[in-house]
Structure formats: structure tokens, C-alpha cells
Amino acid sequence: MDIEKFCRENCVERRGTGTLKWDSLQEIFGDSDLLPLWVADMEIQSPAAVREALVKRVEHGVFGYGAVENSYFDYFFAWQKKHHKVDLARENVRFATGVVGSLYAAVRAYTQEEASVIICPPVYYPFYDAILNTGRKLVTCELDNHNGYYTLDFEKFEKEIIDNKVEMFILCSPHNPVSRVWSEEELDTMFDICHRHGVLVVSDEIHQDFTYEGKKFVSSALVSNGKYKDILITLNAGSKTFNLAGLIHSHVIIFDKQLMAAYDAYIKGIGSPEVNLMGIVGVEAAFRGGEEWLENVKTLIIHNYNYMKQEFARELPEIIVTPLEGTYLSWIDLRGYLTGEETAGFIQNKCRLACDVGEWFSLMAHGFIRINLATDTKNVVTAVESIIKNIKEKVGE
Ligand SMILES: Cc1ncc(COP(=O)(O)O)c(C=O)c1O
């Protein structure tokens, strides 16, 4: 693929279009003049099929309450089957207005206040919020970092569960920000522990379509031939895959009848709307016609990753770039050159970049940054050049 041509034809200016990533820099970072590589959406236009379907719907001109048509289920199920070998039926699926909202819903539906919920940092920061903002007790089991490659210490995980009487585990699979695509064996070990100690698993699989280098995403529902379906709530969406986060539309997948009944009862109790009309239209079109687009976007992401990794390896070899197994987010350890305390300020004020910083994901991750690679290559080049130049100046090379 001609990367430059792809970027030229598909990446667009977003500043001034009411975007969180580009237009809220002042509010979030206190500085509007930064290059944003933070929140996980893209500068890449969504697939043509999506844009055409949305335009058609807009031209229809009526935006009354939506309903989900058969065709939505057909395309969604076909995608899940083809890409992830998951068989779904309608009774397993509920709609929601975002995965983060569903994390809160799951915590509230299945646990009482002060119940213990475990997560494995460094991890997507709304996981903390979903536990703390609902008055539950946060239990953490920090992942082990082996020179940039992360694993879970199962003994430590089980001990935290037992010691804290944990009732729920929120899993990130693939794992944002450390990019792990958990193997079936790893998932089996985690779930076996949960099963033995009566812990429900909420599996956030929003990044499931981004895996690389032969890494295969295994949906939690498939582990050990579906053995853990009765402790499982799976969350996914087309929103990361096709850059549709603003359409706030996602899926809650539950196989166990009792778990589904408890979820339905909870949702009924809060009177929450389920379906966003444009979300349905856009995501159905993406599952129908977005496959080739996704392949191209993944090629761009790998290109951006390889470029960044090579540049850092040559110019600043003590930067550790975590292997990109999954997601489009790169986790970078700058502690070879910067102290944990100074990294966030240095990246923002010297390098002029708006990145997610390590401490957002874990109190132990000062000195790390997360760079969003799903963008025009020129943005990655600017960021990498700025980091190299400023670190070199600092260390006096
Ligand atoms: C692991 C994970 N879950 C959920 C979300 C956001 O989901 P939503 O926009 O559907 O609330 C993100 C976005 O970056 C994410 O990385």
C-alpha cells in the first residue's frame, strides 16, 4: 500500500470540527497549541460505506426513534463469526451507548456498594472510575513488565482475589495500553481462578479487531470451548474498529440467562435508552463494507509503529517501545532518559505533544507515554522528531 497516498486521500483536518482530541486541548491540557496523539480515535475518515449510509439517512430527513433491523444483526453476526469465530444469537445481545457506560452498568448490576472489583494496571483509566465512582472497592494486580512486554502474575492475581473477597474482574482484551493480545492459555488461567472464587468477568473487547503479526485475538466467550460463559459479560463495539466513537453505540453480550435477566432488570430500573439511530446505521454499514478499509488502516498503523520504533532504536536506544500485539496505541517507556516525575511536563511543554501519560493508567507508570498510531504518518513523524530532538538536547548529545 502507498502510505502517503492513503494518508492524503483518507486523513482529514479535525481541528475546529468540535472534537475532543483536537478542540479540547485547552480544557484538558491547559494548552491549545499541542499536537494531539492522545484519546483513541483517528484522523482517518470512516469507510466510504459508512459515510454513504449516514448521508442517505440524513437525506431521508426524519430522525425519530430508531429500531434495529434484521440486517444489522446479520452483518454484525457475520463479522463476529468470520473475524472472531464467535456465534451470536439475538438473545445474547443488548445495545448500549458506549462501552464505558456499560462498565458502570455491569458494576452496578452485579455487585453491591463496597464490593471489591479487580483490574490489572496499567489499564484504561475509566476502569478505575467505573469502580470508584460507583462506590466499589478498587483492587489492583499490577501487570509485570519484562523490558516492555507485559504478563500477569497469576499467583498474585489469585491472592488479591482471595484476600479482598473480589466479586468482579474487569479485563481489557486486547489490553490498552500495554498492547497485549492475551493467549487462550492466559485467559483460561485467569478465568479458572475467577471461576473457582466466584468472580464475574467483564471482558472489554473493544480493541478486538486490531491485532498484528500473527497474534490472534481470542474472545473470552470461546476460551476452553465456552467453559466460562456463565461468569462472563462481554463488551464490544464497532466504534474503535471503524472510527465511529462519536456515534455512541456499542454491544453488551451475555450468554448466561440469569446474568442476562439481572442485566435487563438493572437497565429497566434506570430507564436508559438503548439505541442510537445513527450508531445503528453507521455500524451496520461498517460491518457490511468496512473490511478492506480496516486492512488498510492496520497497514498504516504498523507502518507508523515500525517507523517510530526504528527511529527511537537508532537515535535513543534506551527508549523501550512495547511490542505492538494489539490496539493502535503504543506504550513507550522513557525512563532511560527522563525521570518519572518530569516526563509528563517534558512531553507537553518541551515536545509540544498531548499524549496520554503513564500515571493516568497506573500509579506505577510515571515515565511512560501512550502514543496513538492511528493517524496521518506526518503526525507520528512530527512527534518522534520532537521527542528525539528534545531528549538529545536535554541529555547533552
Ligand atoms: C479499553 C477501552 N474500552 C472502552 C473505550 C471507550 O469505549 P466507548 O467510547 O464505547 O465508551 C476505550 C477507548 O479508548 C478503550 O480503550
Q: What H or E segment, with its residue span, contains residue 391? A: helix 377-395
Task: Compute, in angstroms, the gap from residue 327 CA to the centroid of ligand 1.
Answer: 11
Residue 371 Cβ contacting ligand 1 at under 6 Å: no
Write the pLDDT tens digit of every residue in 243-299: 999 999 999 999 999 999 999 999 999 987 778 899 999 999 999 999 999 999 999
Judged against a pLDDT cut of 80, whether residue 128 lies above it is answered with yes
Q: How far is the CA of 103 from the centre of ligand 1 (A)?
A: 10
Query: pLDDT tens digit string along 177-221?
Result: 999 999 999 999 999 999 999 999 999 999 999 999 889 999 999
> What does the H/E/C string look like for 154-182?
HHHHHHHHHHCCEEEEEEECCCCCCCCCC
Question: Could you identify the atom of ligand 1 that is nearest to the CA of residue 172?
Answer: 1
Strand pairing report for 320-321 and 250-254: unpaired
Output the CATH code of domain 3-44+291-395: 3.90.1150.10
User: 130 Cβ partners below 8 Å, 6+ apart?
Assistant: 100, 103, 104, 107, 117, 170
The CA 100 to ligand 1 mean position distance, Å, reads 6
Distance from the alpha carbon of residue 41 to the mean position of ligand 1, in angstroms: 10
Q: What would the pLDDT profile of 309-347 be if each residue is shown by its tens digit? A: 999 999 999 999 999 999 999 999 999 999 999 999 999
Which residue type occupies 55? Answer: V
Q: Which mutation among 94, 100, 247, 371 tests ligand 1's pocket best, with the greatest number of atoms within 8 A of CB?
A: 100
Cα 18 to chain centroid distance, Å, stands at 22
Which runs of E-coded beta strand occur in 173-211? 200-204
The reported pLDDT for the residue numbered 83 is 97
What CATH number was assigned to the domain covering residues 50-289?
3.40.640.10
Q: Hey, what's the cell of 207?
A: 480493541
For ligand 1, mutation pick of 120, 124, 370 (most atoms within 8 Å of CB):
124
DSSP string over 79-147: HHHHHH-----GGGEEEES-HHHHHHHHHHHH--TT-EEEE-SS--THHHHHHHTTTPEEEE-PPEEET
For the chain, the domains span: 3-44+291-395, 50-289
Contacts of 73 (CB under 8 A, 6+ apart): 90, 93
Q: Decide: 283 in ligand 1 pocket, CB within 6 A.
A: no
Cβ(333) – ligand 1 distance below 6 Å? no
pLDDT confidence of residue 213: 82
| β-sheet bridge partners, residue 93 | 253
